[in-house]
Amino acid sequence: MKMIENVSRRGFIQGALASGVFILSARFVAQPLWADEAEVAPPFDPAVWMSIASDGTVTIVAHRSEMGCGSRTALPLVVTDELDADWSRVKIEQAIGDPKYGDQDTDGSHSVRSYFELMRQVGATGRTMLITAAATQWNVSPKDCSTEPHFVVHKASGKKLGYGELAASAAKLPVPSKDDVRFKSRSEWRYIGKESNALFDLSDIVTGKAVFGMDAVMPGMVYASVEHPPVLGQKIKTYDDKAALKVAGVQKTLTIETFKPPHMFQPLGGVAVIADNTWAAFQGRKSLKIEWDSSPHAVYNSGPYRKTLEETSRQPGKVVRNIGDVDAEFAKGGKIVESEYYTPHLAHASMEPPVAVAEYRAGKVLAWAPTQNPQAVQETIAGVLGIKKEDVTCHVTLLGGGFGRKSKPDQVAEAAVLSKQLGKPVKVVWSREDDIRFDFFHSVAAMYMKAAIGPNGKPTAWLQRTVYPPINSMFDVSARYADDEMGLGWNNLPFDIPNHRAENGPADFHVRIGWLRSVANIYHAYAIHSFADELAAMAKRDPAQYLLELIGPDRIVKLDDKEDEEIAKQGYPLDTARLRRVVEIVTEKSNWAKRPMGKGRGMGIAAHRSFYTYVATVVEVEVDSKGRVRMPNVWSAIDAGTVVSPDNIRNQVEGAAVFGTSLAMYSNITATNGAIDQSNFDKYQIARMSQAPRHIQVEIVKSDAPPAGVGEPGLPPFAPALCNAVFAATGKRVRELPLSKTKLL
Amino acid sequence: MIRLKVNGKEKTFEGDPDMPLLWYLRDVAGLTGTKFGCGMSLCGACTVHQNGEAIRSCTTTMREVAGSGITTIEGIAPMHPVQKAWMEIRVPQCGYCQTGQIMQAIALLKEHKHPSDEEIDSAMSGNLCRCGTYQRIRSAIHQAAKETA
């Protein structure tokens, strides 16, 4: 509550750094962060990032959202390290949405990858200027000065000045160019890569002081809960709110217009109940009587839709990668293996459902939201209300989980639309039922795999086809091919197979499709590594050894994907030596060679590169006489290049094993006549403590390679490793998720 | 009128007695450390103590807590050994469910001074964590049990 009041006193868009004496103010030349973001990365102005007050308080701006992955801690730690500041004297200010920060969409596991060097430069520039200021004052050469946390020191004379004391004079200096900035060597880092790093917000979290979107308030606000059309695109035909208005605490009802396609991130539409508190709004909704019109998406039934996807996957699709000639190899006859895999829709189910507070006043909007993408909040609200995006101010709270759902700000736009109608601030709270029924779902997917097996048991040809409604259907209703998802584990198979073709088949969307933690890598890795394990079993080979043979000799894999190629040039090639290494480490740590086999016990393995990080996972299972699966142990090895906070990386990968347990064993979203069948944690199950792996051990590969992703890459290998373990334990192959669909007895 | 004590302070409530305690705490009393997660006692994010016992405040009405002493996360004097253990083990990721987890863990340790893994699993399985911090929660509870011994 305090936070909001402070900020409203400050006004809409006052910079976080106004209190700083020393504010870096020159412009650096923009660094293209990665190919398709270069256009949104503006000239880089370090004044946005850091200031030092005369009491020595260093304020660092976190421009990426914190949803539990640690970027709000990691990037300021990098600045702090290169500045050689004392972390205990650092304050973090969360940025509002503003293109001056470049890209703020906290997705794709790239906060550290894209901003590591820029944050180093910000810190190192500040340190260099503080050294210059001290040297000038002491009339010595800057070369003879060094720093210790929060001080510049001159060893020869024993002189020492604090950063706070130097801030005013340092601020008057010209900002040195990058070439003249003194960067630390790796061995001088005090924070980067250190075990002692903990989340900045840790104590606020455990004491309940942390402010999430659910906790944001504005003076004079009312609460709203929205009854959405059950089928995508339906409009209100008639509605009767008489009973709803009689519910204690309900003030009125308002309608929100159904979006006009393409959907983008617009509100779904519906009837909003405005009330004195959240509960009254929820209660009022139960008494609404709404008749909805028809929607073409009412044809959506999960059973028949699955058949359509599977039939499509058996037909030739769009070729997205081609090596050699798989058809010629298949035509030779010999041993041919085919297999099909299916995965359902998933809902994100962040523990904090979508929520937002917004106020419309005189053509401008102020919003507080748990959003992964405050600039998308600006754009979406501007689009829906017909105002300029500069007139939308979006403050970002902590996010109670995000997993991709909170890149889409439809609920923030709902709050703005309602506030404009009411003339007062509105807090929109989605119930858990709203969250699960009206998600941007992880796509359902069907995969078809075919291989020709050579005399040594290794494939001589490998064909893979994947079919699912693309995320792009939210932006272009005619999109039926998943072009943007191909780089997510499909057009970059790192196997040493002379003939290989990857294809993608078309599919229609009927619900909102979105990004969910590691996105298409989930079903792509599941199909690829289940199939690899099937081939290993057929060849009567050790699955880990077989996997290493598939990976083949150490090499840089040539990629056909433009974006991948661009990023490869920045230090992120697909290097099979790194993939091999994580497999070797995980087999060693799991004592794979002595693994239990059969009679209800077994281990399975998978290894996958995503977001430029290499992860191998071994899952150990026990399947009891009733077919119940337990996981006593999981081991993962991760090579994410240079790491900032190792303990947080372990936490992320441990969490991926639990998130993976949910999707591999329990979670399943289905639709009937266009409406989603599940609505809360009773039917949409996510793993509980007793269902999660008992011990998860994570090994981080020491590496000086540039930093890669961490939040997502732990997830893709989990489900196939688990299903392969189930095969080892029971002889039953799991060709669809969740696992609960397969009878293990 | 309903009378109750929240974190040691006398409170009165004149609204709908069927309102769940959760929404009284959050929207009326302004105690937002207690979280909304599901509204059906399925996730435990809203866990508070009623006369020292863990309850789900999302399905407990104001009528049911009349005359009771309610303790929320704001009523736990920091750093409680459980909070301390949570920090040392660095349990949280997003942190949203953690206040509910901590309230549940404090109640568990009152009942079982040294819970086994199985007792922890059984007591904590009503508290969901989508980030997947269960292993650390279990370690932190063991650690807090050692501290309070």
* Domain range list for chain B: 2-75, 81-148
**pLDDT tens readout for residues A215-237:** 999 999 999 999 999 999 999 99
Whether residue A689 sits in one domain with residue A571: yes
**pLDDT tens readout for residues A338-381:** 999 999 999 999 999 999 999 999 999 999 999 999 999 999 99
Nearest residue of chain B to residue A653 (CA atoms): B132
CB contact under 8 A, B125 and A68: no
A21 confidence band (pLDDT: 50, 70, 90):
low
Residue with tokens 């294809």: A503
Kindly tell me the sign of the dihedral angle through the C-alpha atoms of A84, A89, A95, A100: negative
CB contact under 8 A, A681 and B128: yes
Is A516 a domain residue? yes
CB contact under 8 A, A655 and B132: yes
Whether residue A332 sits in one domain with residue A379: no
The domain boundary, picked from A429, A458, A489, lies at A429
Whether residue A657 sits in one domain with residue A600: yes
Picking from A461, A540, A464, A525, the residue whose alpha carbon sits closest to that of residue A496 is A461
Smallest Cα distance from A679 to chain B, Å: 10
Compare CB distances from B131 to A68, A217, A688 and report the shortest one's residue: A68
The domain boundary, picked from A429, A452, A483, lies at A429
Whether residue A241 sits in one domain with residue A123: no
**pLDDT tens readout for residues A502-560:** 999 999 999 999 999 999 999 999 999 999 999 999 999 999 999 999 999 999 999 87
Q: Which of A64, A106, A196, A206 to mutate to test the interface with B (most CBs of B within 10 A)?
A: A206
| Percent of chain A topping pLDDT 70 | 94
Q: Which one of A31-40, A173-182, A183-192 scores highest in mean pLDDT?
A: A183-192
Whether residue A613 sits in one domain with residue A489: yes
The domain boundary, picked from A429, A458, A480, lies at A429
Is A89 a domain residue? yes
What's the pTM?
0.95
A13 confidence band (pLDDT: 50, 70, 90):
very low
CB contact under 8 A, B37 and A278: no
Q: Is CATH 2.60.120.10 what the domain over B2-75 is classified as, yes or no? A: no
Q: How many CB atoms lie within 10 A of CB A555?
A: 14
Here the CATH number for the domain that contains residue A630 is 3.30.365.10
Q: Which of B28, B121, B135 to mutate to test the interface with A (most CBs of A within 10 A)?
A: B135
Is A435 a domain residue? no
Q: What is the ipTM of this complex?
A: 0.99
pLDDT exceeds cutoff 70 at A33: no
Whether residue A194 sits in one domain with residue A243: no
| A210 reaches B (C-beta below 8 A) | yes
A1 confidence band (pLDDT: 50, 70, 90):
very low
Q: At A132, which amino acid appears?
A: T
CB contact under 8 A, B32 and A696: no
Whether residue A278 sits in one domain with residue A263: yes
Mean pLDDT for all residues in chain A: 93
Residues 213-232 of A with CB under 8 A from B: 214-215, 217, 223
Across the range A561-587, mean pLDDT stands at 92
Whether residue A462 sits in one domain with residue A504: yes
Domain count, chain A: 3
DSSP structural state of residue A575: B
Is A609 a domain residue? yes
| A195 reaches B (C-beta below 8 A) | no
Check if the beta carbon of residue A688 is closer than 8 Å to that of residue A497. Answer: no
Is A473 a domain residue? yes
CA angle A260/A281/A405 to nearest 5° reads 50
Q: Which domain holds residue A690?
A: 314-346+440-741
Mean pLDDT for all residues in chain B: 97
Q: At what angle do helices A543-551 and A521-538 cross, to 10 degrees?
A: 110
A23 confidence band (pLDDT: 50, 70, 90):
low
Whether residue A559 sits in one domain with residue A416: no
> A245-259, A592-606, A677-691, A700-714: lowest mean pLDDT where?
A592-606
Chain A hits for B19, CB-CB cut-off 8 Å, are 277, 279-280
Whether residue A488 sits in one domain with residue A425: no
* Phi and psi angles of residue A587, each rounded to the nearest 5 degrees, phi first: -70, -35
Write b or e for each residue in A289-301: b if 16 or more Cβ atoms lie within 10 A of its Cβ, otherwise e.
ebebeebebbebe
Nearest residue of chain A to residue B118 (CA atoms): A690
A28 confidence band (pLDDT: 50, 70, 90):
very low
Compare CB distances from B95 to A210, A277, A695 and report the shortest one's residue: A210
Whether residue A217 sits in one domain with residue A203: no
**pLDDT tens readout for residues A132-161:** 999 999 999 999 999 999 999 999 999 999
Is A603 a domain residue? yes
Smallest Cα distance from A522 to chain B, Å: 17
Whether residue A449 sits in one domain with residue A340: yes
CA angle B101/B102/B106 to nearest 5° reads 120
**pLDDT tens readout for residues B93-131:** 999 999 999 999 999 999 999 999 999 999 999 999 999
* Candidates 1.20.140.10, 1.10.150.120, 1.10.600.10, 1.10.3720.10; CATH matching B81-148: 1.10.150.120
Smallest Cα distance from A93 to chain B, Å: 17
Q: Which of B46, B73, B96 to mutate to test the interface with A (most CBs of A within 10 A)?
A: B96
pLDDT exceeds cutoff 80 at A16: no
> A591-600, A622-631, A654-663, A693-702: lowest mean pLDDT where?
A591-600
> A23-27, A105-109, A637-641, A696-700: lowest mean pLDDT where?
A23-27
DSSP structural state of residue A190: S
A10 confidence band (pLDDT: 50, 70, 90):
very low
Q: From CA A462, how far away is CA A329, in angstroms rounded?
A: 9
Measured in Å, how far apart are chain B's first and last C-alpha atoms?
A: 42
